Amino acid sequence: MNIEFNKNEDVNKQLVYELKTRLKKIYLGGGEKNAAKQKEKGKLLARERIAYLIDKDTDFLEVGAFTADGMYAEQGGCPSAGVVCGIGYVSGRQCMIVANDATVKAGAWFPMTAKKNLRAQEIAMENRLPVIYLVDSAGVYLPMQDEIFPDKEHFGRMFRNNAIMSSEGIVQISAIMGACVAGGAYLPIMSDEAMIVDKTGSVFLAGSYLVKSAIGEEVDNETLGGATTHCEISGVTDYKHPNDQACLDSIRNIMSMLGAPQNAGFDRIKPAKPKENEEELYGILPENRDKPYEIMEIINRLVDQSEFEEYKKGYGQSIVCGLGRIDGWAVGIVANQRKVVKSKKGEMQFGGVIYSDSADKATRFIMNCNQKKIPLVFLQDVTGFMVGSRSEHGGIIKDGAKMVNAVANSVVPKFTIVLGNSYGAGNYAMCGKAYDPRLIYAWPTAKIAVMGGSQAAKTLLQIQEASLKAKGEVITPEKEAELLKEITDRYDSQTTPYYAASRLWVDGIIDPLETRKVISMGIEAANQSPITKKFNVGVIQT
């Protein structure tokens, strides 16, 4: 090991420590005081409910832990957008779990809460995963109702999805474990089965205060919409339970009787660890995001037995493609090569840039994986497509379009891990969020933006200087330096993985050592959803 390796290792381990520290804070939800109030009512907290529900000694893959992080400061913040989502195992069956966190604004729905719930439903629908809703919410956060209520991707879309999933035979089970108010009342009742916890659970279209103001009737919430009312009078709910634990036990029992899912047929053999030391991932990835490194050093620490069948090794070397296995699953890997390489034609290809030949190779490889029904894994560390007259004359736009087309029309499941840079159209070609990866996670080293910070800052500076000069202001060197720093700091803050995760551009940020687990659980989920479409790239210029 050299000094550079040790320096990288120290930096990357520090980033992982920061990640875990930030997660611990997020896991506290609305804080100890609000947690104590829930406990006084005899309720488990959202994360405690999930821990009780899932099978012992199994993994829970959280989706959107950092959602809304740093947002809604004026409203006091909204950790994890007030809802915990993820893929877990219940009675041996993989499923999507969605649990409202009543310690955060009584589980009220913020705009990002709706976006996160829709993402959880999207994952469930794509992979035909059963969904378990643990409902405990005061409904829409009224001061922001205009940002959550009426649009296509707002609150109502969730109930539309309930109906679509039901029609497609995707099982949905809801447990009303606290408040369930107004429009939110439709979610559990549009599920296949709904259960309610006595005395703490309640469901109604309008609470007692609103009922009194609307029609003058005086009635308490328990009589209006408690467990006894809905299990013995209205028939709205199917099961009544004395406490959270009994309710969760009932869900486990129901899940144990589900019929087996259809199998998509993705190939899996007995899993094996990489021969290369996975811990060395920390030392391989450079501290400086512009520095080169050998992507095969990363791949060899992710694939089983460190065995990788590279495709067109000597051609299009700024992208590495090939076949391997991750936790036993056969995968096709498309990864950006970060070291500077020399082509057979003697041309230098710079790290992280996609050239015409690389795009051509990746396109052919993606098509092959679709033909063979092999899931795709994209390892992103890309600065974009090559620019300049030589590239334009060589048809870089055409070749890039072919790659984007193949990614967009791919029918096998795609999984994206953002290792480092994810800039410009490179983000799209390497299966960014807009291209429907089944899961997309980032390492703490990730940076996601339209272009790198230094280029963007200089471009933005030119625009701002032109605007100030038009107003007659004099730009001194000191003023220019101040503006550049201000712009750079603002831009850099928007390229961090935390900024991306807070807005659900990625499903989460992970320790690099969790990469194999994320991909394996993702393919296991995808294997429950047989491929029904044929791969067709449409019109591509040759």
pLDDT in the model for residue 155: 85
Neighbour tally for 259: CB within 10 Å = 7
Of residues 309 and 217, which shows the higher confidence score? Answer: 309
Whose tokens are 């491929």? That residue is: 531
Per-residue tokens: 504: 């659900």
pLDDT in the model for residue 389: 76
- Beta-bridge partners for 380: 418
Cα–Cα dist 239/53, whole Å: 17
pLDDT in the model for residue 342: 76
Residue type, 304: D
At 27, is the pLDDT very low, low, confident or very high (cuts 50, 70, 90)? very high
pLDDT in the model for residue 484: 75
Structural contact between residues 60 and 84, judged by C-beta atoms closer than 8 angstroms:
no
pLDDT in the model for residue 477: 79
pLDDT in the model for residue 399: 87
Tell me if 31-257 shares its fold with 278-446+506-527: yes
Q: Dump pLDDT digits (tens) for 403-430.
A: 999 999 999 999 999 999 999 899 999 9
Helix (H, G, I), strand (E, B) or coil at 202: strand
Query: Does residue 486 have a pLDDT over 90?
Result: no
Query: Does residue 278 have a pLDDT over 90?
Result: yes
pLDDT in the model for residue 490: 78
Q: Dump pLDDT digits (tens) for 349-362.
A: 777 899 999 999 99
Domain range 31-257, CATH architecture? Alpha-Beta Complex (3.90)
- Please compute the mean of the pLDDT values over residues 468-495 and round it to a whole number: 77
Q: Dump pLDDT digits (tens) for 296-333.
A: 999 999 999 999 999 999 999 999 999 999 999 999 99
pLDDT in the model for residue 225: 86
- Please compute the mean of the pLDDT values over residues 489-495 and round it to a whole number: 80
Handedness of CA 332, 334, 335, 340 (dihedral sign): positive
Query: Does residue 540 have a pLDDT over 70?
Result: no
Query: Does residue 542 have a pLDDT over 60?
Result: no
Q: What is the mean pLDDT of the chain?
A: 92
Query: Does residue 74 have a pLDDT over 60?
Result: yes
Specify the DSSP element, H or E, that contains 114: helix 111-127
Q: Which of 371, 361, 351 is nearest to 399 (CA)?
A: 361
Half-sphere exposure of 144 (CA within 13 A, CB side): 19
- Please compute the mean of the pLDDT values over residues 111-128 and round it to a whole number: 97
Query: Does residue 118 have a pLDDT over 90?
Result: yes
In terms of phi and psi (left: phi > 0; alpha: psi -120 to 50; beta: otherwise), the region of 87 is: beta
pLDDT in the model for residue 285: 94
Portion of the chain with pLDDT greater than 90, in percent: 72
Cα–Cα dist 177/226, whole Å: 11
Cα–Cα dist 531/512, whole Å: 30
Structural contact between residues 294 and 300, judged by C-beta atoms closer than 8 angstroms:
no
Query: Does residue 172 have a pLDDT over 80?
Result: yes
Query: Does residue 205 have a pLDDT over 90?
Result: no
For the ranges 35-49, 93-107, 216-230, 246-260, the lowest mean pLDDT is seen at 216-230
Cα–Cα dist 96/124, whole Å: 6
| Phi, psi of 74, rounded to the nearest 5 degrees | -65, -25
Neighbour tally for 540: CB within 10 Å = 13
Cα–Cα dist 377/526, whole Å: 13
- Please compute the mean of the pLDDT values over residues 74-82 and round it to a whole number: 95
Query: Does residue 541 have a pLDDT over 60?
Result: no
Q: Dump pLDDT digits (tens) for 349-396.
A: 777 899 999 999 999 999 999 999 999 999 999 998 877 777 776 778
pLDDT in the model for residue 101: 97
Per-residue tokens: 184: 């939110």
Q: How far is CA 114 from the centre of its chain?
A: 14
Per-residue tokens: 422: 């994810």
Say which CATH class 278-446+506-527 falls into: alpha beta
Per-residue tokens: 22: 């930030």
Per-residue tokens: 297: 């050093």
Indicate the pTM of the whole model.
0.94
Half-sphere exposure of 118 (CA within 13 A, CB side): 20
For the ranges 19-28, 84-93, 213-222, the lowest mean pLDDT is seen at 213-222
Q: Dump pLDDT digits (tens) for 238-270.
A: 999 999 999 999 999 999 999 999 999 999 999
Annotated domain spans of the chain:
31-257, 278-446+506-527, 452-495
| Phi, psi of 202, rounded to the nearest 5 degrees | -155, 145
At 221, is the pLDDT very low, low, confident or very high (cuts 50, 70, 90)? confident
At 453, is the pLDDT very low, low, confident or very high (cuts 50, 70, 90)? low
- Please compute the mean of the pLDDT values over residues 503-507 and round it to a whole number: 97
Residues in the chain: 542
pLDDT in the model for residue 527: 98
pLDDT in the model for residue 279: 97
